[in-house]
Structure 1
Amino acid sequence: MNSRLRLSTRYGINTVAAVALVILIIGIAEAFSYRHNWRKDFTANKRHSLSEQSLNVLRDLKEKIKITTFIQKGDPSYEGLKQLLDLYMRESKMLDVNIVDPDLNPNLANQYDIRRHRPPVAFLEGEKGRETLTTLDEEQLTNALIKVTRGKKKIVYFLTGHGEKALDDNEENGLGIVKKLLEDKNYEPRPLMLMRAEKIPDDCATLVVAGPQKDLLAAELDSIQQYVKAGGRVFFLVDPETAPALKPFLENYGIVLGNDVVIDRLSRLFAGDYFTPLLTAYSEHPITKNMQVAAFFPLARSVSTREAQGAHATWLAKSGEGSWAETDLAGLRQNKAAFDAGKDLPGPVTLAAVSELEPVEKKTEESGEPAAGAVVAFGDSDFMTNGRVNLQANADLFMNAIYWLGREETLIAIPPKQTKFSPIVLTPSDAKMLFFLPVIVLPGIVLFVGIYVFLKRSRHP
């Protein structure tokens, strides 16, 4: 009897010790995971991770930003918004985030006067500005952070007077969407009639020449040349057979516009035509080094590079192997196109290039370093129009050039993505398997094992 008691006591002590050890291990693991949090996003489009652009903006924060978000706890979007804000807070200690239920804290809701905005609504406050958001997703949050931290808007002038594409044109061939993209990133796009101005304005961060159909005047070209020489930045988008005076002008910077039209057979596979080359190769220049998706350039000309005094030109983007630059423009008008090894330029064909000048004594406002003039040239302007800018990487390529020319390389990255709904479509056999396996098979196995153990113990008590 005593031996059985001692054995029972020993078993009890062992059980208590085992339970205590398990609790201790769980506690240590919990403490370790709290201090050393690790996450891994296995979703196809990284829907539970911030984009590279958002991460760059957060890492570049140099001042405290207060984010006050009003949303009822019963709102269907509450958990998703909370998770998004948690992702932002993980990446920067400069964020002070407060999620408020307006029904539980009416005094604070009245202070922010949220009656003018239907929750959910967020207020971002920094030393340089304040933004109100009624659409709470990653793209809008990151854009708002850019605005409240930058404060002063950068002005991007778009040249007019030569048949260029218009900012206020919301039709298919206008730039209404580009205007909105720029405004979202705290740029202020303005038209500029240079032929009526003495010079390019001093507040010009970047001058864009978007598809001129006629030549610029000699005085205008001289103004642009002086602007670049003084550290200014210009973005030329020149279509085939337009503005011939720009060809010798750009050659001064080592950029050569081809008298041709680029043909690409590969584009036919993507519901395009032979006159819409795909940009599939990108250089390691900051404008294009993060580009991972092809861009479409409908009706484009080649843009090659050469040596130039006081400037260094390099390619940015090229078409594929199956493309070429067709020089027989008369034949193209008759829908005749065939590669001529003696005349045409074989692919890959360069369609975008950049030229950087030596720095001048003038200092940049951003870094205080000597300002260096720069010219970016694309052999097409149609890719940025309302009907095409949202195709593949077209918008990213245009905006990356704007960021670099505006000396804001922090923004050159993969932008915030849209949440992709990916439903699981089950076949009838998959649906049956999904029912039988967890509902019948697995419980049946557990039941069978239980009966087997019970019968075995009852036979051998």
Structure 2
Amino acid sequence: MTNNMKIVAKNKLWKYLFWLGPFLIAVGLTVGLVSEQWGLIPLAFLIAGIVISGLGITWQSYQTNWWKRRSTQAGTNALVATLAVLAILGLINFLGTRYYWRADLTEAQLFTLAPQSRELVRVLPQPVKVWVFDISQNPQDRELLENYQRQSSKFKYEYIDPQTRPGLAEKFGVKDDGEVYLESGDKRQLVQTVNQNERLSEIKLTSRLQQLTNSTTAKVYLLQGHGERQLSPGKGAISQAVQGLGDKNFTTSPLNLGETSKVPEDAAVVIVAGPKRGLFEGEVKALQEYLNRGGNLLLMIDPNTDPKVDSLLQEWGVRLDNRLAVDVSGGSVGLGPATPLVTEYGQHPITKDFDNGNSFYPIARPLEITSVPGVQATPLLQTKPYPSSWAESDLQSEKLEFNADKDVKGPLTLGVALSRKQTPKSASTPQPAPTPSPLPSPTAQSKASPTPPASPAPSASPAPPASPAPSSQTATESRLVVLGNSDFATDGLFQQQLNGDVFLNSVTWLSQQDQQPLSIRPKEPKNRRITLTTTQSNLLILSSLLVLPLIGFAIAVIIWWKRR
């Protein structure tokens, strides 16, 4: 009896020693976590606790054959399976955090950054931070900022409550809640002000980011004096287009060649937007000399006008067709036949990311392109084939119909990009105008083999703001873009569809800053709403509330009757 009592007492002693192990482990973890220092003392407690717990488990299993019990084996299997599941989940979580992957299944890729934004952030030369001075953190804005941050470790963002950190708000000059600022080094710039009606815009954020990180600017001159589009807001103005150029780090100024007789040396691009009257001969020669020394020119010429630039265009193999471009395919979206809807674009840096997007050109004229030695030409904008489009010769007719004797079948070219290599000879003295072969009609052009797309030549480094434009020794090529319409870039139409992208991308390519991101198209969800007539709506209500329930009830009665 005495021996049995000793054995029981010994078992109790080991039981108490076994519980001492988890206690020591808990003490070691507590000391280490609180002090945040895993020195000798917490490690001693942990090691002692693990050793005692291991000895206790071993002795207990030896005394009671614990490992041979069916319940022990089942419990061990369950524990191992649980630990394996936890390990797998932990590994998946680790891989998901380290190697981020997501799929945007929306048709317009509404939750994915544009390629231009991704490329700009990936090559950031220095760290950039976005400060959002707003109490509420809108999930849509936060998701956009996280998309930027995933592209580069140099991009950071932070939400700030102006009330709790007034010093920082004063440092940035915050006036209202919702202001968003960009900071890079000692540079700061206001992006926009967000509120309930206006969320953070990828277009604005990328544009400001490009301005902040790009130390160079390009000077753009807009020709005036011949009825061109006015630059300040007003009817038929292009003030939104000018603002878009400013957002992309271009500086704009009006140019009157009648006063200066020469294009300024610092001109990266000259724009002639919809002149209503002809240019003087001296002005045309000034533009020709500018192109000959490596300049870049954007011509937007409307129908029913003669800007007197035929001699300039002839050197490049372009002729303005005096007919009107007619396109009846836009009727389904509310566009008239005199407003061509373009969905076909050339393989060129200006239009390479357009896919099958829409752009439209109210009252446009076709262009005829002829091959000229030394000039690479790429059609940018193409209308649909006949019978959807044709070139109408009777501009006074109230009803536009195809006339086989005078009109020309589509597809029609509404825009073209051209480039010409520069040589020392062409830089020093203007080249005589080459005599091109007879100009084919748009029909013949469409049947001929297409001119291979012009591969962009190495672009000259953008000049600093104070330095002149590239000289004849540094410019590698001169560039020209001709568009048969200027209405598409006017206020109100500029921000619709791809119209603004056509303009901004053309200027960016002409400025020979090919390393800079081109324009970013706004992403809009497709309208999937169904418009029903009153009869269709009533029929839908009756079918869903009366017919379908009756059919279900009838099927139930039939099944019950058969099983009865």
Query: Within 2, Cα distance between the matches of 1:16 and 1:10?
Result: 10
Residue in 1 that maps onto 2:513: 408
133, 138, 141: which one aligns with 1:81: 141
Match status 1:91 vs 2:148: no
341, 364, 370: which one aligns with 1:300: 364
Residue in 2 that maps onto 1:196: 259
Residue in 2 that maps onto 1:453: none
Task: Give the direction of change, closer, same or farther, for the CA distance of 1:428–1:70 in structure 2 (3 Å limit).
Answer: farther
Other structure's SS at 1:252 match? helix
217, 220, 228: which one aligns with 1:153: 217
The alpha carbon displacement at 1:360 in A equals 4.5
| CA displacement 1:291-322 (0-9 Å, x = unmatched) | 13121111111112112243222311111112
Residue in 2 that maps onto 1:373: 478
Residue in 2 that maps onto 1:112: 172
Residue in 2 that maps onto 1:258: 321
Residue in 2 that maps onto 1:239: 302
Other structure's SS at 1:286 match? coil
| CA displacement 1:10-46 (0-9 Å, x = unmatched) | 2222222221121121122222222222111123332
**Does the 8 Å contact 1:317/1:351 carry over to 2?**
yes
Residue in 2 that maps onto 1:354: 417
Residue in 1 that maps onto 2:523: 417
| CA displacement 1:80-110 (0-9 Å, x = unmatched) | 3332222111112332434333444444334
Query: Within 1, Cα distance between the matches of 2:361 and 2:521?
Result: 21
Residue in 1 that maps onto 2:560: none
Q: Which residue identity is paired with 2:343?
A: T
Other structure's SS at 1:221 match? helix
Residue in 1 that maps onto 2:487: 382
The alpha carbon displacement at 1:119 in A equals 2.7
| CA displacement 1:94-149 (0-9 Å, x = unmatched) | 324343334444443343343xx223333323358431233333222111101101
Task: Give the direction of change, closer, same or farther, for the CA distance of 1:268–1:43 in structure 2 (3 Å limit).
Answer: closer
312, 337, 347: which one aligns with 2:376: 312
Q: Which residue identity is paired with 1:112?
A: F
Other structure's SS at 2:422 match? strand
**Does the 8 Å contact 1:290/1:413 carry over to 2?**
no
Match status 1:175 vs 2:175: no
**Does the 8 Å contact 1:126/1:148 carry over to 2?**
yes
Query: Within 2, Cα distance between the matches of 1:421 and 1:314?
Result: 33
Other structure's SS at 1:411 match? coil
Q: Which residue identity is paired with 2:358?
A: A
Query: Within 2, Cα distance between the matches of 1:91 and 1:421?
Result: 30
83, 94, 112: which one aligns with 1:20: 83
The structure that has the greater radius of gyration is 2
Match status 1:323 vs 2:389: yes
The alpha carbon displacement at 1:2 in A equals 8.9
Other structure's SS at 2:479 match? strand
Query: Within 1, Cα distance between the matches of 2:287 and 2:413?
Result: 24
Match status 1:212 vs 2:272: no
The alpha carbon displacement at 1:282 in A equals 0.8
Identity %: 31
**Does the 8 Å contact 2:346/2:379 carry over to 1?**
yes
Residue in 2 that maps onto 1:132: 190
**Does the 8 Å contact 2:261/2:282 carry over to 1?**
no
| CA displacement 1:227-279 (0-9 Å, x = unmatched) | 11111110001111212522232121111111211111222232122211122
| CA displacement 1:348-394 (0-9 Å, x = unmatched) | 01111122111346883339964311111011111111242233221
Query: Within 2, Cα distance between the matches of 1:128 and 1:164?
Result: 40
Query: Within 2, Cα distance between the matches of 1:203 and 1:37?
Result: 45
Query: Within 2, Cα distance between the matches of 1:110 and 1:13?
Result: 62
316, 331, 340: which one aligns with 1:268: 331
Other structure's SS at 1:324 match? strand
**Does the 8 Å contact 1:50/1:416 carry over to 2?**
no
Residue in 1 that maps onto 2:343: 280
Aligned pair count? 422
Other structure's SS at 2:270 match? strand
Question: Please, which moves more after superposition, 333-342 or 138-147?
Answer: 333-342
Query: Within 1, Cα distance between the matches of 2:519 and 2:69?
Result: 70
For structure 1, which runs of at least 5 residues remain unmatched after alignment?
Answer: 433-461
**Does the 8 Å contact 1:230/1:360 carry over to 2?**
no
Q: Which runs of 4+ in 1 moved over 6 A?
A: 1-5, 419-425
Query: Within 1, Cα distance between the matches of 2:169 and 2:529?
Result: 38
220, 223, 230: which one aligns with 1:166: 230
Tell me the C-alpha RMSD between the 2 structures: 3.1
Other structure's SS at 1:133 match? strand
Q: Which residue identity is paired with 1:293?
A: G
Match status 1:364 vs 2:460: yes
Residue in 2 that maps onto 1:456: none
Query: Within 2, Cα distance between the matches of 1:302 and 1:353?
Result: 10
Task: Give the direction of change, closer, same or farther, for the CA distance of 1:24–1:424 in structure 2 (3 Å limit).
Answer: farther
Q: Which residue identity is paired with 1:49?
A: T
**Does the 8 Å contact 1:302/1:325 carry over to 2?**
yes
Other structure's SS at 1:30 match? helix
